[in-house]
Structure 1
Amino acid sequence: MEKVGVIYILTNPSFPEYVKIGYADDVDRRLKELNRSECIPFAFRLFAFYEVSNRLSDKKIHEMIDRLNPNLRSIDDFEGKKRVREFYAMDAEEAYSLLEAIAEINGLKDNLHRVAPSKKEIEADEIADSVRAEAFKFSMCNLKEGDELEFINDSSIKCYVKNEKKVIYKDEEYSLTALAKLLLGVNYSIAGPHYFKYKGEKLCNLRERLVK
């Protein structure tokens, strides 16, 4: 069987509760494209892939998963528009089981491959776990009351540090996560410090730099 591409499962320690599932002719190139972004603190990595003989559209793959469980897909509203992503609320093992079932049905289990994490990826996972384990406080970034923060997607949107865990935005008090969800128009789990910057540096990066 001639293999032309793969269905991939990608993970990212920035949001361990989600996996990214899609199709690519060249998964290494796809990874490089995704990891060019500076808006995500950790890189995507390949967890597993299933080799296929026909080019597939992401839409076909996602329709299949949505038929199995329509509640897994990451869907949100931004500026009144519905955004449907190729992220799914499942862990990597659950996603692997899905591809495993497809491989078994087609009698092509040898086409399914799990990828062992590199030492660098394991270290990144450990850093992400330790960061999540300790609740964010502004003092970790040497920030004080009144310091100005900017929203990562729009520098004209500003908020101000109120205390260790709260900011002021348009005279209202928010946690960073609550404000990020409001500005992004999402209701799924995110980490607020990834979406704000101080003097051009994202808070998650500033925190990591200062605790080293």
Structure 2
Amino acid sequence: MSNSVGYIYILTNPSFKEYVKIGYADDVQKRLKQLNRSECIPFAFRVYATYEVDSRLSDTKIHSIIDKLNPNLRSIETFEGKERKREFYAMSPEDAYSILEAIAEINGRQDKLKKIQPTIEEQNEEDEAEEIEEEHHERWAPFKFSMCNIQPGEEIVFSNTASPYDGEVCKVLNDKQIEYKGKPWSLSALATKLSNSKWSVAGPRYFKYKGEWLNTIRERMEAESNE
């Protein structure tokens, strides 16, 4: 890489395909090596894209931009009474790339945005992770509208400011499906389509009911039921 100040990076990992890691580094390869020293994850991180910048940035500035688009995508947890925000976002690498692409276009620096082609080894790891995911898919508890006390006939709203379909209204058909433009859809299938994502996305993270994210409602109600 050249002697510019640094790079905004998008990293992916087959271990958790539903997330991307977004941050800033003066040297992306050095940052990658630091992350991949850990033996706590099955697969290594890889660079999906980089955006060269001519001024040093803090991760906080980058994350604040994304959080304003959709604060629900950020990986946040409470550990020992303290809130911990991470560099991980529940979005496809394509969606993350589209954000950097928009920033590059606004600044007239499209030539500084680079998408990195995966190596054969990385592609093989992607395939292996996908096989593992398929084997365990049936064990996951699928989302049901009854988990949120949402009845058939009620409306939910697609929310993704990076998509031209932001604000589209859908009607709940039954416990697992919604209606959009006269056709039945699962939450994840429609979220993937409206987000124009190559990969499947978690539907409840992209829809709101009465202004509240579906996954937030589900988590809140599950927590209340366990009290």
Pairs within 5 Å for 1:62-211: 62-135=63-136
Question: Structure 1 residue 61 and structure 2 residue 62: aligned?
Answer: yes
Q: Which amino acid aligns with 1:99?
A: L
Q: Offset at 1:134? A: 1.0
Are residue 7 (structure 1) and residue 14 (structure 2) matched? no
C-alpha deviation, 1:71, in angstroms:
1.1
| Equivalent-residue separation in structure 1 for 2:71 and 2:136 (angstroms) | 32
- After superposition, the CA RMSD in angstroms is 2.0
**Residue aligning to 1:19:** 20
Pair 23,30 (structure 1): closer, same or farther in 2 beyond 3 Å: same
Check if 1:35 corresponds to 2:32: no
Aligned twin of 1:50: 51
Measure, in 2, the Cα distance between the counterparts of 1:107 and 1:32: 31
Match of 2:149 in 1: none
Q: Deviation at 1:2?
A: 6.9
1:5·1:54 contact (CA, 8 Å) conserved in 2?
yes
**Matched pairs, number:** 139
Provide the TM-score with structure 2 as the length reference: 0.58
Question: TM (normalized to structure 1)?
Answer: 0.63
Instruction: Give the Cα–Cα distance (whole angstroms) in 1 for the partners of residues 80 and 132 of structure 2.
Output: 31
**Partners of 1:107 and 1:34 in 2: how far apart?**
31
Structure 1 position 110, deviation (Å): 0.3
Q: Give the Cα separation in 2 of the matches to 1:108 and 1:3.
A: 13
- SS of the aligned residue for 2:4 comes to coil
Deviation above 6 Å: which 4+ runs of structure 1? none
Unpaired segments ≥5 residues, structure 2: 138-214, 217-227
User: Can you list the C-alpha shifts for 1:65-123, whole angstroms capped at 9, x where unaligned?
Assistant: 11121111000111221110010010000000000000000000000000000000000
Paired residues of 1:2 and 1:53 also in contact (CA < 8 A): no
Counterpart Cα distance in 2 of 1:5 and 1:76: 29
Query: Match of 1:14, SS?
Result: helix
Percent identity between the aligned chains? 64
Q: Is the 1:21–1:86 contact (alpha carbons within 8 Å) kept by the matching residues of 2?
A: yes
Q: Distance in 1 between matches of 2:88 and 2:33?
A: 18
Distance in 1 separating the partners of 2:95 and 2:4: 24
Q: Distance in 2 between matches of 1:133 and 1:68?
A: 31
Verify the 8 A CA contact 1:5 1:51 in the aligned structure 2. yes
Q: Which secondary structure does the structure 1 equivalent of 2:123 belong to?
A: helix
Contact 1:6 1:50 in 2 (8 A): yes
Please give the alpha-carbon distance, in whole angstroms, between the structure 1 residues aligned to 2:119 and 2:26: 23
The letter of the residue matching 2:103 is: I
Partner Cα separation in structure 1 for residue 86 and residue 53 of structure 2: 22
1:134 counterpart SS class: helix
Kept after mapping to 2: 8 A contact 1:73/1:87 = yes
Q: Which structure 1 residue ranges, 5 or more long, are not aligned?
A: 137-186, 189-212
Amino acid at match of 2:112: N
1:135 and 1:69, CA in 2 relative to 1: closer, same or farther beyond 3 A?
closer
Determine the C-alpha separation between the residues in 2 that align with 1:134 and 1:41. Answer: 16
Distance, in Å, in 2 between the alignment partners of 1:7 and 1:135 is 33
One-letter amino acid of the structure 2 residue matched with residue 41 of structure 1:
P
